[in-house]
Structure 1
């Protein structure tokens, strides 16, 4: 697993995240060493749901050449799927709950994943967004996981 400069500065904050991410892949996007990182995040509160989060990771060379060491883009994408039995018994419908948080700058920005249970439509909604100290970000990504209509914790179809 590659540890970025941003992650190194934020080890104390990373330890507070509700779920741990497992790095699946890095895709190099340019000669400066910038990457798109793909991580898998299991939702431990409901079980049986795994989200894949992709985000842009700036290299040290890019930060030095641009002169904006602390800036990091808020771009991310998320896709979630049912990977086993799901238990929504402990969830409050309509209440956003933290699933994952990862620091994206030295002090001011984090990438977050929140879960919202839509009980009426039997759907789990996962929202990826940036959170900044001074202002929010309009860059969001969303994924939904349909649940069985009868309430049973059925495994996904193969």
Structure 2
């Protein structure tokens, strides 16, 4: 019987930061003859029942990669739209100013990703979803935002 692998602090942090939201590709739009596409994915917020987000991002084609030589990088640009798609039920969500990651997708082999965070604006009863690039070294101002109001029952 082989011993179990040791759990390091880094692997624990990585596992804890992974989000349970899984996206389904719902569209793919060709944008040029180089094989570049816009990919549209949908995911349900794992802790807020009744909210679905759609994220669109650019995916480089093989010809573009050959032509430019940087094989492993895709741009971090993304767009997001979130809507109520059912009866909204808030689970145990993070209510801090920093919010909580609800979705992440790698955009390069090492460390670069598109992240979606949820922030709860309690005063205005609104969920805010921010899509942004995350990189170890080079922060980016490229982002997109979407809001979902929480209407009170009469």
TM-score (norm 2): 0.83
Higher mean C-alpha deviation, range 46-55 or range 86-95: 86-95
Higher mean C-alpha deviation, range 21-30 or range 61-70: 61-70
Residues 19, 42 of structure 1: 8 Å contact kept: yes
Please name the residue that 1:4 is paired with: none
Q: How far apart are the structure 1 equivalents of 2:81 and 2:106?
A: 20
Q: 5+ residue gaps in structure 2?
A: 1-14
Residues 18, 98 of structure 1: 8 Å contact kept: no
Structure of greater Rg: 2
Q: 5+ residue gaps in structure 1?
A: 1-12, 153-158
- Which of 1 and 2 has higher RCO (CA within 8 Å, sep 6+)? 1
Please name the residue that 2:25 is paired with: 23
Please name the residue that 2:147 is paired with: 144
What's the secondary structure of 1:27's corresponding residue?
strand
Superposition map of 1:2-81 within 5 A = 16-81=18-83
Q: Which runs of 4+ in 1 moved over 4 A?
A: none
TM-score (norm 1): 0.81
Residues 49, 91 of structure 2: 8 Å contact kept: no
What's the secondary structure of 1:61's corresponding residue?
helix
- Given the alignment, which residue of 95, 102, 109 partners 1:99? 102
Residues 17, 102 of structure 1: 8 Å contact kept: no
CA RMSD of aligned residues (A): 1.7
Classify 1:89/1:45 alpha carbon distance in 2 versus 1 (closer, same or farther; 3 Å): closer
What do the CA deviations read for 1:11-70 (whole angstroms, capped 9, x no partner)?
A: xx9xx4420000001000000100000000100201100001000001122111111113
Residues 38, 56 of structure 2: 8 Å contact kept: yes
